[in-house]
Amino acid sequence: MSGAMAPRQKLKKGRPLEGFPNQGPTVQITAFQSLVQAGVPEASGEFTATATDPEQGDIARDLVWSTAADGQLGEGAAPILTFTTPGASQNLTAQVFDGFGEGANDVVQVTVSGGE
């Protein structure tokens, strides 16, 4: 056949096309804060992060935010997170996975302290 197209390679589950290795995403928390709890049972604040993947571009919408003490707190690039475990410094993790299952995260320390 003249002008016939070459057969397309299929995407293998969890892996990019043959000959094109997957490059994992990167995550960076860009704004965070310590929180003061003023006589209420929880403290909230806005946090932001970027997440990019060489093959997929901006994947910040897929970020998941969590701490060991409070578990999953929110999703996306700029969530308002509510912490329910006061009086301690906590490691806040923003984590993302690309479409091929490769993950990345960034961690910052957040202090939730009692207010006056």
For the chain, give the percent of residues with pLDDT over 70. Answer: 72
* Contacts with 111 (C-beta within 8 Å, 6 or more apart), sequence order: 34, 35, 88, 89, 90
Query: In the predicted model, what is the mean pLDDT of the chain?
Result: 80
Structure confidence at residue 60 (pLDDT): 97
Structure tokens at 97: 């996975």
26-114 CATH pick, 3.40.50.300, 3.30.1360.70, 3.30.70.20, 2.60.40.10: 2.60.40.10
What residue ranges do the domains of the chain occupy? 26-114
User: Phi/psi of residue 106, each to 5°?
Assistant: -135, 150
How far apart are the C-alpha atoms of 76 and 11, rounded to whole Å?
Answer: 27
**What tens digit of pLDDT does each residue of 5-40 get?**
333 333 344 455 666 788 899 999 998 876 656 556
